[in-house]
Amino acid sequence: MEGQMTHFSEPTVQNYAGWDEFYAKDVDEKIDFFSKENRLFDIIFSQQFDRNFLDYICRLSNSIRLLAKTKSGSRKLRRLLAHKRAMLYFVQPSTRTFLSFLNACHILGLKVSDIRDTSTSSEIKGESQEDSIRTFASYVDLIIIRHLEAGFSEKTAWVLNQSERPVPVINGGSGPDQHPTQALLDIYTLERSFAHIGGLDGKKIAMVGDLKRGRTVRSLSYLMKNYKDVTLYLVSPEIFKIKEDIKTFLNKHEIQFIETDDFRQTLPLVDAIYMTRIQKEYAEDATAEADDYPEFFFKQEHLTEIQPHCVIMHPLPRRYEIEVEVDKDPRAVYWRQERNGMWMRTALIAYIFGVEKKIFKVLTA
């Protein structure tokens, strides 16, 4: 062991009978397993959200945002879940998702503990990740996970749901697969941005960049089935085209999409531009995937080419995809989008613990 802390023992690999069969199933067949009494219990995939839920959670986010602005409102929010504890298990780098969940918990009064590095937990002694998670479940009422492996949050929820102490699990990013809470805040941002022009229904949205490995784009694409007449422009270099599974989904749900590598031509056509970063951490061939693709960057000069109501979004972190000069334009909404994440995640946690009626009541009182 030179300098860097490594495992004392190889991680233990447990065999969970039935998991492989479960994991291989279609998402649609698995959704019920993550619900209880007609409510979502674990938040694992964005296919779990229907239009009713999306409208409801956007409305709840709005109420929370308004309440949190006042001293008495924020005090009321803080009392709602002061008896609950949450665990943030974030073993893949994160700034926004981590901080917005942490602050969402604070807004509702939950106490929070976190692990951000497996070298500080018993996993370094060889404990399996699933056993570590069961341990967290012994102490807390909610577990929020960001993990490099695509199915890790799902497996955790699957294991816990069969234990004597099932606690809800939220997927805060599962490798290159999904990021359902980011998709929720993206929807909230789109709906807020288009509130004066009929909401998201009927809009044209460009998604730009690494559509192959960007989990935010994947999760957001799934949600489009809930909106009427949305058209997606999937703008990427050839090697980062969106994967077949998403295209199959879009076709199945009759969501119009156009694949193109012409960023410039797309700009004037759309109501929203969702920029993304090249996900170099998932490179299979680092040399072939080293380019930055400046022809897909949003530059200051492009501001004159987009429609007056068009919003520019980005899940962040940004690298060079959007010039900083663009930030000053009122159509650049990514910093608001980031803050929307905190309100949306607060709403989601309030929903999971079933206290949202109290929030609506306080607001109308």
Q: Nearest distance from residue 128's CB to ligand NCD, in Å?
A: 25
Q: What's the alpha-carbon Rg for the chain, to the nearest Å? A: 21
Q: Which stretch binds ligand NCD (CB under 6 A): 127-135, 219-227, 285-293, 313-321?
A: 313-321
Q: Nearest distance from residue 277's CB to ligand NCD, in Å?
A: 4
Q: Is 237 in the site for ligand NCD (CB under 6 A)?
A: no
The only residue of 315, 344, 345, 351 in contact with ligand NCD, by rule CB under 6 A: 315
Amino acid at 226: N
The only residue of 46, 97, 171, 219 in contact with ligand NCD, by rule CB under 6 A: 97
Q: Nearest distance from residue 75's CB to ligand NCD, in Å?
A: 29
Task: State how far the Cα of 213 lies from the Cα of 280, in Å rounded to an integer.
Answer: 9
Cα 174 to its chain centre, rounded Å, is 9
3-state secondary structure of 34: helix
**Cis ω before 268 (30° cut-off from 0):** no
The only residue of 153, 174, 182, 236 in contact with ligand NCD, by rule CB under 6 A: 182
Q: Which stretch binds ligand NCD (CB under 6 A): 67-75, 123-131, 135-143, 312-320?
A: 312-320
Which residues are the active-site residues?
96-97, 125, 146, 179
CB 267 within 8 A of CB 307: no
CB 315 within 8 A of CB 182: yes
Amino acid at 304: T
Q: Nearest distance from residue 215's CB to ligand NCD, in Å?
A: 5
Which of 143, 173, 192, 115 shows the shortest CA–CA distance to 317? 173
The only residue of 96, 134, 331, 336 in contact with ligand NCD, by rule CB under 6 A: 96
Q: Nearest distance from residue 324's CB to ligand NCD, in Å?
A: 17
DSSP letter string, 157-189:
HHHHHTSSS---EEEEEETTTB-HHHHHHHHHH
CB closer to ligand NCD out of 182 and 346: 182
In DSSP terms, which residues pair with 102 in a beta bridge?
none
CB closer to ligand NCD out of 96 and 111: 96
Q: Nearest distance from residue 184's CB to ligand NCD, in Å?
A: 12
The only residue of 153, 171, 216, 340 in contact with ligand NCD, by rule CB under 6 A: 216
Q: Which stretch binds ligand NCD (CB under 6 A): 233-241, 245-253, 266-274, 309-317?
A: 309-317
CB 345 within 8 A of CB 101: yes
3-state secondary structure of 84: coil
Task: Write out the two tokens for 92.
Answer: 């893949």
Q: Is 46 in the site for ligand NCD (CB under 6 A)?
A: no
The only residue of 65, 84, 277, 302 in contact with ligand NCD, by rule CB under 6 A: 277
Contacts of 238 (CB under 8 A, 6+ apart): 261
Q: Is 236 in the site for ligand NCD (CB under 6 A)?
A: no
Q: Is 179 in the site for ligand NCD (CB under 6 A)?
A: yes
Number of residues that bind ligand NCD (CB under 6 A): 11
CB closer to ligand NCD out of 84 and 218: 218
CB 55 within 8 A of CB 232: no
For 283, phi then psi, to 5°, come to -60, 130
Q: Nearest distance from residue 47's CB to ligand NCD, in Å?
A: 18
The only residue of 73, 151, 168, 173 in contact with ligand NCD, by rule CB under 6 A: 173
Cα 161 to its chain centre, rounded Å, is 22
Diameter over CA atoms, the chain = 62
Q: Is 61 in the site for ligand NCD (CB under 6 A)?
A: no
* Contact residues: ligand NCD, CB under 6 A: 96-97, 173, 179, 182, 215-216, 277, 315-317
